Structure 1
């Protein structure tokens, strides 16, 4: 709360200082005349007092201290209200100078409506810090519109190193065939190989098929399907669904995997009943709180699948929000807005994210004291990123996929039938 008040007071004091200099004389220590200052409005969703939001607010304050000629007037709006307001104001072309935006389907209409300013001329500022894979979701038709701050890996394998060692595995399997042998060995030791809570259906889609599908099809597959240049009936996708079917048939999961949720499945892992859990980075905080002291947790990518066309090093991930510039800005205001982006998305901010337990959309060395699991996820996601299905496909297609994957694990639908259902849905 203190930082929120500080941010507001800093802005108010600077404005009052400017108003009090009616004679045009330079205010003491302000670095210039009031008329030389540029004021920019920024809408954001940093209303909750989380460590990540505190880092964001502190970064804005730091920027204004280092750039006394640029004033950032912030309006923090709760998430759900913000999304409604952004759409409403966009329709009337009444957007702020700077605004938080989301990638994909939420960014596209703002770009197609000509409401956002491309930042191609400054994107080189982040060379070596933010990778092309991390920038990709904010690029449309060859132009870049924002820099992502954080990213969420949705599909990786958490595993109990001690349980695997007892089964004879000092290292995590590199290939899918080795992975299946591990599952067999764990079952013979009366250990649940993989805990799964798919009651809400989305887990198999977001964490499983987003990783396994990419191993088989490659990262261009989904965009090609959406463009009508590829089909879900492609043999590679059918085989990817077949991997999930095979895992279910070989008893890799807990018996009630379609009756419990992803919170309950985490308990099976932290209690030692299950050796592995395929889940996203959102479980990091809960694992830190729930895992017993001394639990030796490792994190791995899904193993390489022989015959697949995808990059075996890729991990499925989605980037978080970015800050975009209003296309109406020009001259000094536009230059100030670009300067703000360069001063906001810095190595210091990304390191602060790591310290807050958030994986940044950047490749930075972790400061001392960063949680080892957060650091490991950051390492895994520093290379190639693959698309997450529900960030690319429509809600209707995702609904068909979610329920269909559950049916495949129950044995009531084949991978081929699900592929046909999906293709029929996307062609509607």
Structure 2
């Protein structure tokens, strides 16, 4: 899914500070104005700062809210993704959260909730039941920290392990699209023998291999229940034989030269371009690739690209025909925002996350956890194929959405180690030790 989360220690220290100080109300007094003459000040932070269609769509709805509400002075900050987490953790430590802000599903939103920096948005969901009911199953699971209380409405679906393949290359070399592990190994050998990289990978930011390959591959070996138990350190450990076996399948890819030389030194965007230019037969990547290719590639380049799921694992405990993923991030509401400011902040969240916005985001070639009726003519052929694939598959966990920040970093770096000849047993032990520390009271 996305880069590892590193805000836990900062938030822990900050939450202790808040406990000592008793918290505090927002310094923004304008939201308490009742005479209608004073403008309400609202701040919104997000990471939709790029020129891709999705980012433009989200910003357009923020702009629409500002135009529709002249009584609001809106401070909207679009912060590039690379620096967004650090900026958010910095203001969290100072208890100076913006009124509305984008938050990732998983450990980041959980830690912000534990630090009492969020308040539910349940009331705006309940006020628009026709909107709430069209979210796909599981959409609110990462944001429901107490029963019946929801803290965000996701703006996207994090589908992270789609197997993209170049149909023309498969046909040219008479290779079967793999549905079993043996067929995958045969395909890798055939493409290598013909001087074609089997699988493009850009793992310079080491979350990529974990998010796109390991989570889905390991789930096929261990099953979802085992992984959740291991993450919770309840009756399963990452040193168990099934996880060693799962890492062994990743090592098979490495040992059979599935990836191009230097995969740890190029980034994911470079790998996407390497693939779309016909240098690799396959790429295992997330739904973000659909958006990136829509912005950077031609329909001619994409017409030969098909999508499917990773092949089944012989004797595995997990389901085949699944993709790792779940709800993406969404907009959250600061616990300090109250009064008229809170009312307008909830309306802002609805504007940017509501039915029209969900449709626009979907039609920007981005997956959503929402039953949107999309206009096929507005999306790429590749997106439409992936959209229908994801609707027909099961969803399994992405590892870093369940692991502690420390453990996520350990497995990310550990996969790089395996790619450089490291031991799967050593990586498994380091992961187990890190996750055990997070589970210790």
TM-score (norm 1): 0.76
Task: Measure the CA separation in 1 of the matches of 2:135 and 2:219.
Answer: 22
Residues 363-385 of structure 1: per-residue CA shift (max 9 Å, x gap): 32322221122233333444543
After TM superposition, the structure 1 = structure 2 runs for residues 403-414 of structure 1, keeping only pairs within 5 Å, are 403-413=413-423
Q: For residue 214 of structure 2, what is the aligned residue in structure 1?
A: 209
Q: For residue 293 of structure 1, what is the aligned residue in structure 2?
A: 300
C-alpha contact (below 8 Å) 1:156/1:302 kept by paired residues: yes
Q: Name the SS of the counterpart of 1:363 in structure 2.
A: coil
Residues 392-417 of structure 1: per-residue CA shift (max 9 Å, x gap): 3344433432343334345442x333
Residues 118-151 of structure 1: per-residue CA shift (max 9 Å, x gap): 2345546344532233322222243320011123
Q: For residue 3 of structure 2, what is the aligned residue in structure 1?
A: none
Task: Measure the CA separation in 1 of the matches of 2:325 and 2:201.
Answer: 20
C-alpha displacement at 1:208, in angstroms?
A: 1.3
Q: For residue 180 of structure 1, what is the aligned residue in structure 2?
A: 185
After TM superposition, the structure 1 = structure 2 runs for residues 306-385 of structure 1, keeping only pairs within 5 Å, are 306-317=314-325, 319-327=327-335, 337-367=345-375, 368-382=377-391, 384-385=394-395
Aligned counterpart for 1:388 among listed residues 393, 398, 407? 398
Q: For residue 401 of structure 1, what is the aligned residue in structure 2?
A: 411
Task: Measure the CA separation in 2 of the matches of 1:204 and 1:326.
Answer: 33
After TM superposition, the structure 1 = structure 2 runs for residues 87-236 of structure 1, keeping only pairs within 5 Å, are 87=89, 90=92, 95-120=97-122, 123=125, 125=129, 126-142=131-147, 143-168=149-174, 172-187=177-192, 189-198=194-203, 201-229=206-234, 230-236=236-242
1:85–1:244: structure 2 CA closer, same or farther, 3 Å change rule?
closer
Task: Measure the CA separation in 1 of the matches of 2:361 and 2:100.
Answer: 21
Rg larger for: 1
Q: For residue 74 of structure 2, what is the aligned residue in structure 1?
A: 73
Residues 52-91 of structure 1: per-residue CA shift (max 9 Å, x gap): 344234324555777x698473432535776566555555
Residues 299-335 of structure 1: per-residue CA shift (max 9 Å, x gap): 2221222333334333223644322234456677655
**For structure 1, which segment, 361-370 or 263-272, has the greater mean C-alpha deviation from structure 2 after superposition?**
263-272
C-alpha contact (below 8 Å) 2:351/2:357 kept by paired residues: no
Task: Measure the CA separation in 1 of the matches of 2:267 and 2:98.
Answer: 40
1:381–1:141: structure 2 CA closer, same or farther, 3 Å change rule?
farther
| 5+ residue gaps, structure 1 | 1-14, 20-32
Task: Measure the CA separation in 2 of the matches of 1:47 and 1:207.
Answer: 22
C-alpha contact (below 8 Å) 1:314/1:384 kept by paired residues: yes
Paired residues, number: 395
1:133–1:38: structure 2 CA closer, same or farther, 3 Å change rule?
farther
RMSD: 3.8
Task: Measure the CA separation in 2 of the matches of 1:113 and 1:261.
Answer: 33
